[in-house]
Structure 1
């Protein structure tokens, strides 16, 4: 084991480990959790995907307590949502004060100042030049639905391009763009027509060479659109938009190379196509910048955001260059979108992220990735480690040479981590995602990585690796 790993083990078994690590007081699930899970199985939609029986009661920072008093380290952050940690006191205060003043009046039909205030704050950090306009909904899927509709409305074109592995949401328009897992689309056809999917530059699954070959592969993925698609089945003058995640989330935490994003921008500029950046999971500072696309230097035309922008309150935002959002009153709206309480949470969230969260995401992400990149040399089932900031993917394989997917082994690692008090989630066919709150500290990160490495080693032993 490396010196770094030994240092991590020391932290876990020290007083710091007792302070910052998990605290399990019952077998999992505990009796209260087991009862609630049984009732949930009887009453709640079976369409939800639960990885393990964790029944949350309260959360503070990076810690979540269940209904039996067990405390977990949360490296899922409510699917990359609780960016400032659970119940950050500044966010809680903003929610409480706003709830006592005005909960709802509907920005669809009336005015309130905080809509303007948040728009000005977001405009100041936009990854493309202003002026900008904003649409407010309740979720990432709603932000994507808005982007899809406005792209068609503004351009007068009917077709859009998205990517295999993409996840843009489950409402019908967003689902039509989604191409992550068959079950998400199964038995819902016909979906919204006019969507064409093409290959995303998933280098680990597309080539086996070094950086030069990976760049060539990424360039080929983008150029396929112009050199094949536009010359055979899809007229470019009928394409309204290209939807892309700068880092695919559900698809496996796959980072789009800069050269790929640059080529998409060139194609969009050449043919009058809008470039839509889906930053629902990768935005709000998670990658160490406000927006993941900023790492590439590419400027989008539309940005979709949600998840971490309001620390857990329901808020989705579609931000465009002002001239794009040219539709008429009544074209699109939402009764609850941008409600005053969610706006207050977003403003407080931005304060915390500006002050400390984004810088910490960059710092802690670099530290974690430095350690994680040593794992493939020590663990035969760790095929790839990738990410930016605190959006980190670890790909589990049956064999590093064949790179065969090992989804069941990945799921077993996630389950073992839960049993040891660490909350993580899978993504893609065979990857683990690490997406802790952006306020995570070095001790929490060290303990989480030690638990995860222990779980990987256990699966290797179980599989004779």
Structure 2
């Protein structure tokens, strides 16, 4: 079995000198097939597996599967492994913390690492003034906690999110979600008081597959339909928004849209909640995607890349909002457990000390330019390339084409992942190098050449 050298996390190399990617068996390979068979026999069929990858170990942007095949990871575990796989600083922090204290509940006792993590996150907050932080196990839990907070702090019962949004799968989070009807099917009635509005994009042209911005659509609907016919704005606690929609298709709103949303919220005394579970932690070249819009939210939600792969989420809120609820109003047995907190502190340090925000912007520009060149060469297949930093969506004319690209990349050792109905997301770890980006572009070019119009 080939070993992976973790000495240089941002440019992982193999001590055998093998290139990456390097696929040497059929996919899935013989050991992977055994794992798939065992998995199928016991796990919930609700798990939506993308392709038959059975990872064994990883470093940086490289994954080795159980059959020894090497893959270039451009989905980062669904945008989770922000500092790359098994970054030495993160691993060291986890090992040191695990040797001292694995768990004690921060809901009932005072864990030093809990408040240290809250303070480190608060230092990154994109809103002025003092803030407070609550730690959770996941993004969905953080969304549910934020939902409770905004209703409690305002005394208002309604909240608004957007069509195309994905906020998670717990009951509150999945009610806010509106990216796919199947996430709601069979689970009603959902949490009451949640309304949806159009995001800043028009419907795709059914003939060409092209999209166009229509930011007025959002505000005309809110002011002239929703607030006129369904709910008075004085009863709306908050608007939940992804500064860049993730599962909905990596949709980037036009410049000025987020500012108009902030102004609308201010006009009606509504809180603005930024769900940065996928777009945050440096993915866009800024710590938080909302910073690109120059807008300050009232509440910000984080997870995924926060602890480089360990389960941790958080919501950060203006202090006066968080101080509106008292002891026992919200808690969590495992949220902010010591080991994930140690990983988060190390992750924040690595992002800062290794210049990963700049790297996300620079390598993201290489990828975006290369992908737009590929789109120009395949106009009958690719309809759009959009994104910021290392959060890039490549949209195709049909769902069959996007599925074929995802599968074709996997077969060639490049791991990408679909989102929306016709889009493939490109979201590698923040440690990705320009050379690795060019390798991925070569593979994508090869795959696109074989996709029928």
Whether these two folds match at TM > 0.5 is yes
Distance 1:333 1:456, change over 3 A: same
Match of 2:7 in 1: none
Match of 1:430 in 2: 422
Match of 1:158 in 2: 157
1:93 CA displacement? 0.2
Distance 2:300 2:255 in 1: 17
Distance 1:19 1:82 in 2: 23
Task: Give the alignment partner of residue 338 of structure 2, picking from 335, 340, 358.
Answer: 340
Cα deviation digits, residues 134-158 of structure 1 (max 9, x gap): 1110000011001100010000010
Give 1:28-107 correspondences, 5 Å limit.
Answer: 28-107=27-106
Match of 2:166 in 1: 167
2:293 is the alignment partner of 1:271 = no
Task: Give the alignment partner of residue 236 of structure 2, picking from 239, 257, 263.
Answer: 239
Distance 2:203 2:352 in 1: 33
Q: Do 1:223 and 1:263's aligned partners in 2 also have CA atoms closer than 8 Å?
A: no
Q: Do 2:198 and 2:217's aligned partners in 1 also have CA atoms closer than 8 Å?
A: no
Distance 2:220 2:436 in 1: 43
Match of 1:329 in 2: 327
1:263 CA displacement? 1.1
Range with greater deviation from structure 2 (276-285 or 370-379): 370-379
Q: Do 1:123 and 1:130's aligned partners in 2 also have CA atoms closer than 8 Å?
A: no
Q: SS where residue 426 of structure 1 aligns? A: strand
Structure 1 unmatched runs, 5+: 1-14, 398-405
Match of 1:402 in 2: none
Distance 1:201 1:375 in 2: 26
Match of 2:389 in 1: 389
Distance 1:204 1:456, change over 3 A: farther
Match of 2:254 in 1: 257
Match of 1:202 in 2: 201
Q: Do 1:162 and 1:196's aligned partners in 2 also have CA atoms closer than 8 Å?
A: yes
- CA RMSD, 1 decimal: 1.8
Distance 1:457 1:266 in 2: 46
Give 1:284-295 correspondences, 5 Å limit.
Answer: 284-295=281-292
Q: Do 2:118 and 2:134's aligned partners in 1 also have CA atoms closer than 8 Å?
A: no
1:20 CA displacement? 5.0
Distance 2:283 2:332 in 1: 27
1:117 CA displacement? 1.5
Report how many aligned residue pairs link the two structures: 433
TM-score in terms of structure 1 length: 0.90
Match of 1:440 in 2: 432
